[in-house]
Structure 1
């Protein structure tokens, strides 16, 4: 029996009117989605993937306009009034987004938020909705749903918040679920669980899924059909088997090959040790208010490491394992117990005494857009550290150094006069690295610097970091849940779980012959992801 086509898109175009003229984000794409089928729309950032589905849902920004057709069971959604669309959105066609924390209201309990689509589309009271909400929470695997129904979003982990978003999308038994980058920010183990959950729910409920991602690797096992988009156009489409086994377009081949490669050699045995961390622990007091009992969390629990010149230590583990806390503690950005020495001398705990050391001990964050001031030009951002560490430099000398730093990371020196919002995610990460490199550091803590980037851009940033390390003899602490990137950059690995190191060793040993069950589970999840693109 042939599956029914529930969504048929024909010659869809999306145009945004801007001060610089019209921007054509989607250029006449067509696709069909059948009941019970998964169609993956893949491509790099800016390819038009999300705008395609936003146009279908009637959710474009005010300066955007859609033309063409998007037929849901014969009804054209393009140009439909909000009143008519509201009968379909949240009921027949639903959507989950990449970052649930921005989609969930922090001021409302998740039970109240899950009740909204039930109250709007089914006219249920809050009391009537409660049994259905508990059923949904159980359906998506939220533990202790009777307790979690009264939790706020911040009280849930990233994976649990994404499950809540899926529960909200499923509340009214939709025909079509649109999943826009639903696993990008998640650990590999949680990512695998979410994908398995979606596949299981689809099988049980018979809904169609439109899955948007920039990572071709995760769709092989999950999707039936694939549309590859670039610059607003579909450059190739077909069955998943055909796209992966015999891609025809050069862009598709590039996406499939965009996996960080190579193995980093360990530094020589005689390389000097730059950082010695002995029995480092970080404890947070979770109690708020005078009358509440003292509650403590040991986020980092007795960790030791030695970082040599030219070495990269990869720190891996799930969210909440203490990876980032350890990195910040080593830089004396958090209060900690234990000994942390740099070049044989213990690092001071006083912020003023630490200031001269800051130029040699630098940090690159996960989200460069959040760490780059939107009000400052790139040139000012990059040279801000020079005002503190080399105050004798003139404005002209700083400007020259900014141009040199940008050139070092593969950007044009003229870009120093532009603002962060004018750059892509990959370019902003290069700017963040340039801001670090201008101070000529010896050690850089890289905290998830590639997790929000396209696979092809990740590969470029990995190559850049390798080149800079080789040129300047840099040492890295590389924190990530992306094991493919960790393997390509690191020569030694610490595996963390609930604040402790459960296993450590040379990269090849950890990946090829892990000893601990937790490490094996991480590797298995990583290999499952890799098999999607095998």
Structure 2
């Protein structure tokens, strides 16, 4: 009988917290056979990622695992650190959910790709850099030669995720553990990446353990599926059986979950809160005596007007400039053009000049783990803005506001004593939303706020954002590659491509009768992803 590549036997993961032990995984068993693709699905906080972190020896300091995790018969949980390191990065690799926290901000992309090739593959510096270039081409990074010299912050979220995939594939692993590897990618790139993984799997005989909340991907990509809930195994079976005849109510709920509803447009005479005119952001340097022109116009002359109570959705493929536009409007990076908030020119203001506006202009970032301090508790993170902008509040008043903010985003108030690493990716994103909402701002720029969330939790967050928008009179700029979420939450949509707006208008118009072929292509890809994946899978 063929031996499993990975066999997980009665694994239990527990975290020691100020509120007592948290049992994240409670006796789960699963296995992966050679050349097989196995998906582990479940809502945020179900424990699916913690199983893999335990298997790789990457649990946080207050975490402990029992049971057995056997790689081709060798128990990884009892393996000495040196021998485990020999396997990690060579035979077993992992793509993490949040690429910005996995890439070193001080080193160029080429150097980081070359490191595992040198350590595990024994390549020279020159050979490793040549292979790094091949890997960037393999995962379809645009202008790969330039990206070798780039730093992580100079790339989009989707591009950083593709770098992580390239790094994981560098040494042709035996087992690839992919934790939400397509979270930051738009649907067209999702299909390309999944096709890439399928091609490599066929060529190398590689096994894939796929952790995801995206059930559309699972149906098209996985051979077998494990469904988890609250640290327990809820259901398992072939992908065909799980999707064709689910046995539990929980699995049926996951399959049925989909963002719905529409947002009514605001009144035409609603006051304009934030306005941008001819906003431009340029990266790189112009050509000099001894240097090439490396300039990139990430945002190229965009104008918009955000009214009170309005939600403007900004969509486009990875690298289109969506996130850069959001940061430019809030003066989080140098930009040209005119930016006005409630009649006051804020474009060009430095950090000190912007401080008086920060409580009213908030941002929720794409990568919650990278924007939450690992040294602060959730309570301290959420309360930090109050300490800066409302210092007159007593400690008791601040604590009450924190508990209310956590309750607003569907988290237990007792969670305020925990640290970010003790939460799932989706829970961390809700902490980030609570941090923004607690100040009762006028405007929140939401940069992919639901990309890390499963569909059922997405629906909860959409309902949450709708409710607090009405309750507190908020206006949103909602940046996302997930068009289903944009359609449910926005009343106006801007479609970006290569730094410019190619089409814009009311949500019903953009989704019902798009005028540009680029927009129509996005719509086809977004709402026919399953067909696209199956077509690419052959």
Q: Structure 1 stretch 111-120 or stretch 516-525: which is displaced more?
A: 111-120
Give, in whole Å, the separation in 2 of the partners of 1:482 and 1:56. Answer: 31
| Structure-1 residue corresponding to 2:512 | 512
Give, in whole Å, the separation in 2 of the partners of 1:353 and 1:149. Answer: 34
RMSD over aligned CA atoms reads 4.1
State the shift of 1:476 in Å.
Answer: 1.3
State the shift of 1:489 in Å.
Answer: 0.6
Matches for 1:153-168 after TM superposition, within 5 Å:
154=152, 159=158, 162-168=161-167
| Pair member with larger Rg | 1
| Structure-2 residue corresponding to 1:440 | 440
Give, in whole Å, the separation in 2 of the partners of 1:112 and 1:17. Answer: 35
Q: Is the aligned partner of 1:265 residue 2:264?
A: yes
| Structure-2 residue corresponding to 1:466 | 466
Using the size of structure 1 for normalisation, the TM-score is 0.82
Contact in 1 for aligned 2:426/2:453 (Cα 8 Å): yes
Give, in whole Å, the separation in 1 of the partners of 2:55 and 2:416. Answer: 38
**How many aligned residue pairs are there?**
530
Give, in whole Å, the separation in 2 of the partners of 1:511 and 1:332. Answer: 30
Q: Is the aligned partner of 1:497 residue 2:489?
A: no
Contact in 2 for aligned 1:221/1:532 (Cα 8 Å): no
Contact in 2 for aligned 1:300/1:325 (Cα 8 Å): yes
Give, in whole Å, the separation in 2 of the partners of 1:467 and 1:399. Answer: 22
Give, in whole Å, the separation in 1 of the partners of 2:134 and 2:296. Answer: 32
Give, in whole Å, the separation in 2 of the partners of 1:394 and 1:77. Answer: 49
Contact in 1 for aligned 2:337/2:347 (Cα 8 Å): no
Give, in whole Å, the separation in 2 of the partners of 1:356 and 1:75. Answer: 58
The 1:330–1:31 alpha-carbon spacing in structure 2 relative to 1, beyond 3 Å, is: closer
The 1:245–1:347 alpha-carbon spacing in structure 2 relative to 1, beyond 3 Å, is: same
| Structure-2 residue corresponding to 1:478 | 478
Deviations 1:194-241 (A, max 9, x none): 111111222333332221223323211011110112233321011111
Contact in 1 for aligned 2:13/2:54 (Cα 8 Å): no
State the shift of 1:280 in Å.
Answer: 2.6
Segments of 5+ residues of structure 1 without an aligned counterpart are none
Deviations 1:134-163 (A, max 9, x none): 766665556777x47964664766555555
Contact in 1 for aligned 2:478/2:486 (Cα 8 Å): yes
| Structure-1 residue corresponding to 2:47 | 48
Contact in 2 for aligned 1:218/1:532 (Cα 8 Å): no
Give, in whole Å, the separation in 2 of the partners of 1:482 and 1:438. Answer: 26
Q: Structure 1 stretch 281-290 or stretch 256-265: which is displaced more?
A: 281-290
| Structure-2 residue corresponding to 1:301 | 300
Deviations 1:420-451 (A, max 9, x none): 56665555544544444444333322222222
State the shift of 1:307 in Å.
Answer: 2.1
Give, in whole Å, the separation in 1 of the partners of 2:400 and 2:59. Answer: 42
| Structure-2 residue corresponding to 1:226 | 225
Deviations 1:251-291 (A, max 9, x none): 22232233322121112334333334332323345479997
Q: Is the aligned partner of 1:67 residue 2:67?
A: yes
Q: Structure 1 stretch 155-164 or stretch 450-459: which is displaced more?
A: 155-164
Deviations 1:26-80 (A, max 9, x none): 44433343333211111234433234334545655676344246362x5555535
Contact in 2 for aligned 1:5/1:33 (Cα 8 Å): no
The 1:269–1:205 alpha-carbon spacing in structure 2 relative to 1, beyond 3 Å, is: same
SS of aligned partner of 2:5: strand
| Structure-2 residue corresponding to 1:455 | 455
Give, in whole Å, the separation in 1 of the partners of 2:397 and 2:221. Answer: 54
| Structure-2 residue corresponding to 1:327 | 326
Using the size of structure 2 for normalisation, the TM-score is 0.81
State the shift of 1:250 in Å.
Answer: 2.5
The 1:110–1:397 alpha-carbon spacing in structure 2 relative to 1, beyond 3 Å, is: closer
